[in-house]
Amino acid sequence: MHLSRNIIQGAMGGLFAGSIVGLIEAIYLLSSSGAPDLLSPFYAVVLYGLIGLGFGLGGGIALTIAEKLFKKLNRQDEAFAFAVGEVFAILPIAGFVLMYIVRKVVFHEQGLPVTGLAGIAITLLVVCGLAMTLGVGMLRGPFKFLLQGKGALGAWLGLAAATFGLSFVPTGADPRASWDHDKPVPADLKDAPNVLVIAIDTLRADYLGMYGKDGDLSPVLDSIGADGVIFEDHFAHASWTRSSFASLWTSQLPSGHNSGTKAAMLPDDLVLMSEALQDAGVTTANLANNINVTSTFNFDQGYDTFIYESPDYAFGATESVFGLTFYKVIHKLHERMGGAKSVSSFYQPAEVVLDDAKGFIEANKDSRWMLGVHLMEPHDPYFEHPYLDGSGDAEFNGVGFARAEVESPELSQADYLKKVYVDEIKHMDLKLKPFIEWMKAEGLYDDTVIVITADHGEEFGEHGGFWHGVTLYEEQIHIPLVIKLAGNELAGTRVDWQSRAIDVAPTITSLMGVSAPDQWQGADLLADVRKELEQTAADAKVVEDLKARVAELQGAVEARPRDAELKASLEAAQADLVNAETADECAAYKKALERMVIAEEDFEGNVISAIRADGFKYLRANEGNPRGLPTEELFDMVTDAGETKNLMGDDGKICGIYVSDLPKSLGQTMGDEIVKAASTGATGGTAEMSDAEKAKLCALGYLSGPDCE
């Protein structure tokens, strides 16, 4: 037996083989998903090498035992022991990496069939066979130095040093260093306002004071609402981030933008609001704070400055390192060991993003600009804030409730989750305060159009579940929309008819004097707001004129009580006044300016579509959907805003409408609109997500299963 020789050479063989496997994976990932940085080769050489050393050590021990059992093996030399260590490292490390990559790339995350496993097994056998045959021969020849003294360790350190040097090669400048674009204001945009769009992830409308929530949760947002137009019934077209943001920026229904599934990428042939504005000479920027809406999924189209406010990484890693299979393993182990959570491990906090917003605005103050700001606080993990509930002075205590860890909370946890969700809104609102105060101090607030909206809401047990993305009930698609105009025009206006996310882009381009592309499916909201205000004023004048007419006729009748013609005129005028002042009890079912809302979802096996029109909401879901939703639901949204009573099968009438006719008519209309959107929309594409990007989706609860293990 040669225990010492086998252990040393086996460990060195494992160290060397593990490093090479890791380096190959790093190069593959950098070439297939871009190079945000070049640290991953160094990280792979070190991490995979150390893992391989452990497996190689086991190989050396196994060889020693085999030598005791099989005397023929005692005639082998150091080269054979080194190669055994290589094989013991290659089999588990390369096998695990290959299984992950093949399942993702070849079988599109649908699991590994027997044929896939067989292919991987054959590949590993071939590689290990080469390591044992060619490897042994080469180790006895030109690579003999690896067996001498510290040769293998030296080669590994040299490889680590070379890849460490590579990590300093620049891969692109920080966009913050060049966001002063020095664009002159185009002559035809001289009188146009600048536009700031603040999109708050996972913010329910009904959790804001301006939408009726008690408790003074959002005084800063509410103050902006008081200075602007509040759209009381505003809706998203999906209940998860990528699909909903795609509708916001492209003015397309999900069937039109074809970005509604997890791997979908925003197509190039769509015209984003940023592109329409940029073409008109507007300086455009976006501070994206969620992996779903970054360049990975083609959301960076049309921006002079596009920044992904990426989270921080454990163990000194970077975005490229996050792609390495075994880094994901140690990262997941680190997460599951518990301990304090950090906000920046999931997204950048509001103060960081708003500081970048301030920097962009200051750098482009002499240009006409549009800036998108993405705040993430209401999205899980819901962090506890001791300074808000009186339990301490700290902003954070490291406790955060995350979907990635608790996919299905108990209904008994709903009250706690609502509390921490509310505190996240309060915390974000407080962080927004100094930024808005800065805008006012700089004279920017009054002259800037500020749009406040969200991508979707959140469920807290209202329909038996939690989180978002798997239903289209009100708690998941009813979102805020506030438009504060320049000069605070129309301040205090509240709009009670339905509006949609696809209407935001054409409203903004209209405000800036830029034509909306023909491809867009939404329409300018403010034109209808002004039309309604004019009509309201005209109706009020009619009432006032009728009141004056009645008063005049009453005086005339008092003067000539026997004049039958005067009495008849008075009675007619009084009847007209009653009709003008009497509210139509069915008016809520037929608002003239109301937009029809179509929402669509294809998420985690739940394929749902919904239409909200004429005071009713009709939903369809696929048979056997994981959430357990009925295949058809119908709700009277005027009397049942909480969607508690499914009217399917009801044979009654509501305001002259036969309820039993609604599923067919609304379903037909919904189908027609979806088909229309699909026929006039974009050609869909599929994004090639890196492992780092998948890890972020897992951390935010958008992916689960093997990808997150």
- What percentage of the chain's residues is helix, strand, coil (to nearest 5)? 50, 15, 35
At 565 the pLDDT is: 86
Average pLDDT over residues 209-238: 97
Check residue 559 and give its pLDDT: 86
Annotated domain spans of the chain: 3-166, 193-311+346-523, 531-589
Which of 86-90, 113-117, 422-426, 542-546 is most confident?
422-426
Largest CA distance in the chain: 135
Q: Residue 576, exposed/middle/buried by CB under 10 A (0-12, 13-18, 19+)? A: middle
From 657, 661, 638, 665, select the one nearest 648 (Cα to Cα). 661
Q: Are 508 and 526 in contact (CB under 8 A)?
A: no
Gap between the Cα atoms of 576 and 26, Å rounded: 79
d(CA 235, CA 558): 55
Say if strands 478-479 and 400-401 run parallel, antiparallel, or are unpaired. unpaired
Q: What is the pLDDT of residue 33?
A: 62
φ, ψ of residue 408 to 5 degrees: the values are -130, 85
pLDDT band at 277 (very low <50, low <70, confident <90, very high): very high
Angle, nearest 10°, between helix axes 525-559 and 564-581?
150
Q: Tokens for 578, please give them.
A: 């009653």
DSSP character string of 565-628: HHHHHHHHHHHHHHHHHSPPTTGGG--TTPPPEEEEEEETTEEEEEEEETTEEEEEE-TT-TT-
Tokens of 329: 């393993």
Other C-beta atoms lying within 10 Å of the C-beta of residue 128: 19
SS3 645: coil
Distance CA 545, CA 542 (A): 5
The span from the CA of 693 to the CA of 699, in Å, is: 10
- Cβ burial, residue 332 (10 Å; 0-12/13-18/19+): middle
Give mean pLDDT, residues 160-166.
92
Give the rounded percent of residues in the chain with a pLDDT score beyond 70: 91
At 46-104, the pLDDT tens digits run 999 999 999 999 988 888 888 778 766 666 677 888 888 889 999 999 888 888 777 76
Burial of residue 335 (number of CB atoms within 10 Å: 0-12, 13-18, 19+)? middle
Q: Output the pLDDT for position 234.
A: 98
ω before 381 within 30° of 0 (cis)? yes
Regarding predicted confidence, which is higher, 652 or 154?
A: 652
Q: What is the mean pLDDT of the chain?
A: 88
pLDDT given for residue 618 in this prediction = 98
Would you place residue 691 in the very low, low, confident or very high pLDDT band (cuts 50, 70, 90)? low
> How confident is the model over 401-437, as pLDDT tens digits?
988 788 899 999 999 999 999 999 999 999 999 999 9
Q: Token pair for residue 285?
A: 């920027």
Average pLDDT for 109-135: 78
**CA neighbor of 99 nearest in space, from 76, 77, 118, 86:** 118
Cβ atoms of 275 and 250 closer than 8 Å: no
CA dihedral 98, 101, 106, 112 (to 10 degrees): 70
For residue 299, give the DSSP letter: T
pLDDT of residue 669: 96
- The owner of tokens 């360790």 is 153
| Spatial contact of 64 and 77, defined as CB atoms under 8 Å apart | no
CA distance 354 to 426: 16
Q: Which two tokens stand for residue 699?
A: 């951390």
Domain 193-311+346-523 has CATH 1.10.357.10: no
**pLDDT tens digits along 328-369:** 788 777 766 666 788 998 899 999 999 999 999 999 999 999
- State pLDDT tens for residues 588-647: 998 989 999 999 999 888 999 999 999 999 999 999 999 999 999 999 999 999 999 999
pTM for this prediction = 0.80
DSSP class of residue 451 equals E
Q: What is the pLDDT of residue 575?
A: 84
CA dihedral over 213, 219, 223, 225, signed as positive or negative:
negative
Is the pLDDT at 447 greater than 80? The verdict is yes
State how far the Cα of 296 lies from the Cα of 352, in Å rounded to an integer: 22
Dihedral angle over CA of 320, 323, 326, 330, nearest 10: 80
Residue 477 predicted with pLDDT over 70 = yes
Helices (H) and strands (E) in the chain, counts: 19, 23
Kindly state the helix (H) or strand (E) to which residue 370 belongs, with its residue range: strand 369-375
Confidence of residue 199 (pLDDT cuts 50, 70, 90): very high
Averaged pLDDT, 566-586: 82
